[in-house]
Structure 1
């Protein structure tokens, strides 16, 4: 049994740090923030009960500095550390270091994290647990000849993937043997640069697939639950852009079947706390397990909106040794939720990073709207960290109500000083295939979404130009009328004075 948590150090920044701070305030737990030189004026620093400087702007010297973070947590008297997502959230050495220093790590154990972080080891465990996996190599491939042989047997196209890490990094597509040989060296180098290891495996590339994940929660008493699915198929270069729940292609029977598999997958690695089992669904309706993300997901608010649960508060309760307070059959899905990730990137120029001061911003609100963000007028969007500036969510009693609310919220959302992905989402939210639920991981390319976005931008520019010309003409007519009226009034006044003088 873990001890009662009275203070938590949040080893993160931005909107996720704010999210954890809010949960702490509701639970009466002291929140302790950390910040780099770049984040001195950040909102999470002001909102936390205490805040400590952690180092220079570069992540390696601040938010990735395990020793400094643990040292700060001890000095601040923290009972526990919440890693958020990104940074140290999936580093198996971090929970171990926390435990050695007498602090609770709010997340999975180091052992579970080690297994889930090694895709080949995890795949092996899942096969034993009879969890369906994507066809491909059974182990790490260190030789390009062996990779070519496996690809030939599986059939092209194939993916070369790093056995470590996540977030779409270390993945290369090969449509033929020549391309596989070229990409093998590049994938190895990319994996080595990102994760310090060049271990690759070969996986059959499933086309027109959907990316569907199940939110998991598991306690130290062996109780596991799934909190339904999220559809995450709209992606760019394996990075999720839009998430929603429920998925348009998951009915209740499928939800129960795949949800049970997800819970089984978590039990197979003795998972603890919140995590996500990710699956690929092919056009025939087959689901293939790909990985467990051993942390709180960026898109966790989608699940919160359709279940009514607070996942961060649930994480803290489980970290304290409490049992999950509900059974699987107690959970009911309510309505539909959609999330758009508002990134500081320019979708018109290959998603080029956009950084700098935000002189002003307008955050949307209203029925069913939720915005998780660190933005405020005068804040700085830094180039040192992730491009995510806000998560815009819309809930409705059904998909159409959620979609319309999202469309209106996107129209209201303005962020001055930087470029964002908002124009892309405005295009998608009214696109016929999105409305019909015709989604896949190649959605953007398959339906030429960027061409549509550019055409709409041109039309909006033309409309704006026409409106500007009309305004000028209207103003000109108004000036003429006012001038004529003033002339007439002056003439009348002059005539009146003349008559008075004659009299």
Structure 2
């Protein structure tokens, strides 16, 4: 039985730090924030019960500085640390450091995190647990000739992946042997630069696939539950953009089947707390396990809206040693939800980063609308951290109601001073393929969504000009009339002045 948590240090920033602070306030748990030089005026600093400075803006010297964060945790006397997502959330060394300092890490144990973080180890364990995996290498490949041999067996195209990758990083596509040999060296260097280890594996590239994940929770008593699926197929360069639940292709029978497989995956690595089992689904309806994300997901609000559960409070409860308070059969699906990640990027210019001061912002409201964000008028979007500025989530009794609410909320969402991905989502919400649920991880390219977005902007600007032309013409005429009348009045005044007759 764990000690009861009465204070939590949040080793993160932005909207996820605020999300955790709100859960702490509901549970009457003291919240402790940390902040870098760049975040001195951020909301998460003001909303927490206590806040401590941890270093310069660069993440390596602040939010990734394990020793400094642990020093603050000890000084503040906290019982637990919540890592949020990103930064140290999937770092087994940090989880182990918490364990050694008798501080509860709100997440899996370091050993389970090590297993889920090493894709090759995880894949071997999943095969033993009869969890279906993507065809490819059984272990890490450090020789390009061996990679070619495996690729020939699996069949091209193939993906080169870092065994320690995540968030879409460390992935290269090879359509033939020539490309594989070219990409192998680059992928090795990329893996070493991003993760410190040049460990690659080869995996069959499945075309026109959907990305579907199952939210999991598991307690220290061995109880495992899945909280249904989220479809995350709309992506750019392996980065998720839109997530939704339920998936348009999911049936109740298939949900139960894949959900049980996801639970088996969590049991196989003795997982603890909240996590996500990620699957790829091919056009034939086959599901392949790819990984377990050992943290709270960015898109967790989608699951919260369709289940009525508070995942952060559930995480804290599990970390307290309490059993999950519901059985699998107790869970029911309620309506449909989706999330758009509002990133500080310009979709019209190859998603170039956009940073700086936000002089004004207007957040959307209304039935079924939720906004998780750190934005406020006068805040600054920093170039030091992730581009995610807000998460716009909509709920409706059906997919279409959720979509319409999202579309309207996007129209109301105003962020001045920076460019964001809002225009892209406006296009997607009205796209016939999205409405029909015809999704895949290459959706943006397959249906030329970016080009469609540009055309829509051009049409809107053209229509605006047409609407303005009559008004402009009227204004010119009125100006000329005023000038003529003014000239005539001036002439009359002069005539009277000199005694003339008008």
TM superposition score normalised by structure 1:
0.95
Measure the CA separation in 2 of the matches of 1:206 and 1:288.
10
What does 1:349-368 align with in structure 2 at a 5 Å threshold? 349-368=349-368
Report deviation, 1:463: 2.0
Measure the CA separation in 2 of the matches of 1:417 and 1:297.
28
- Identify the residue that residue 59 of structure 1 maps to in structure 2: 59
> CA deviation digits over 1:390-440, x for unaligned, max 9?
000110000000000000001111110100001111111100000000000
- Identify the residue that residue 266 of structure 1 maps to in structure 2: 266
* Correspondence 1:148 to 2:179: no
- Identify the residue that residue 494 of structure 1 maps to in structure 2: none
Query: How large is the RMSD of aligned CA atoms in angstroms?
Result: 1.7
- Identify the residue that residue 321 of structure 1 maps to in structure 2: 321
Measure the CA separation in 2 of the matches of 1:486 and 1:227.
74
Which moved further from structure 2: 460-469 or 77-86?
Answer: 460-469
- Identify the residue that residue 44 of structure 2 maps to in structure 1: 44
Report deviation, 1:481: 8.5
Report deviation, 1:478: 6.0
Measure the CA separation in 1 of the matches of 2:65 and 2:337.
36
- Identify the residue that residue 501 of structure 1 maps to in structure 2: none
- Identify the residue that residue 497 of structure 2 maps to in structure 1: none
- Identify the residue that residue 331 of structure 1 maps to in structure 2: 331
Report deviation, 1:470: 3.1
- SS at structure 1 position matched to 2:389: strand
Measure the CA separation in 1 of the matches of 2:439 and 2:110.
35
> CA deviation digits over 1:318-357, x for unaligned, max 9?
0000000000000001000010000000111111100000
Measure the CA separation in 1 of the matches of 2:92 and 2:42.
28
Q: 1:198 to 1:367 in 2, by over 3 A?
A: same
Measure the CA separation in 2 of the matches of 1:211 and 1:341.
16
- Identify the residue that residue 424 of structure 1 maps to in structure 2: 424
TM superposition score normalised by structure 2:
0.95
* Correspondence 1:435 to 2:435: yes
What does 1:15-414 align with in structure 2 at a 5 Å threshold? 15-414=15-414
Q: 1:368 to 1:477 in 2, by over 3 A?
A: farther
Measure the CA separation in 1 of the matches of 2:110 and 2:5.
20
- SS at structure 1 position matched to 2:461: helix
Measure the CA separation in 1 of the matches of 2:216 and 2:486.
74
Measure the CA separation in 2 of the matches of 1:375 and 1:486.
50
Report deviation, 1:371: 0.4
Measure the CA separation in 2 of the matches of 1:255 and 1:481.
72
Measure the CA separation in 2 of the matches of 1:483 and 1:160.
72
Report deviation, 1:476: 4.4
Measure the CA separation in 2 of the matches of 1:484 and 1:276.
74
Report deviation, 1:101: 1.2
- SS at structure 2 position matched to 1:52: strand
- SS at structure 1 position matched to 2:202: strand
> CA deviation digits over 1:4-39, x for unaligned, max 9?
111100000000000000000000001100000000
Measure the CA separation in 1 of the matches of 2:394 and 2:339.
7
- SS at structure 2 position matched to 1:348: helix
> CA deviation digits over 1:76-133, x for unaligned, max 9?
1111000000000000011111111121100000000000000000000000000000
- SS at structure 2 position matched to 1:395: strand
Measure the CA separation in 2 of the matches of 1:89 and 1:97.
13
Measure the CA separation in 2 of the matches of 1:329 and 1:482.
77
Report deviation, 1:484: 10
Number of equivalent positions: 490
Measure the CA separation in 1 of the matches of 2:479 and 2:222.
78
> CA deviation digits over 1:180-221, x for unaligned, max 9?
000000110010001100111100000000000000000000
Structure 1 residue runs of 5 or longer lacking an equivalent are 490-503
- Identify the residue that residue 499 of structure 1 maps to in structure 2: none
> CA deviation digits over 1:210-254, x for unaligned, max 9?
000000000000000000000000000000000000000001000
Measure the CA separation in 2 of the matches of 1:16 and 1:109.
21
- SS at structure 2 position matched to 1:318: helix
- SS at structure 1 position matched to 2:138: coil
> CA deviation digits over 1:464-489, x for unaligned, max 9?
22233333234446668899999999
Structure 2 residue runs of 5 or longer lacking an equivalent are 490-502
Measure the CA separation in 2 of the matches of 1:256 and 1:485.
80
Report deviation, 1:361: 0.6
Measure the CA separation in 2 of the matches of 1:165 and 1:17.
24
- SS at structure 2 position matched to 1:84: coil
- Identify the residue that residue 493 of structure 1 maps to in structure 2: none
Q: 1:459 to 1:129 in 2, by over 3 A?
A: same
Measure the CA separation in 2 of the matches of 1:386 and 1:220.
33
- SS at structure 1 position matched to 2:52: strand
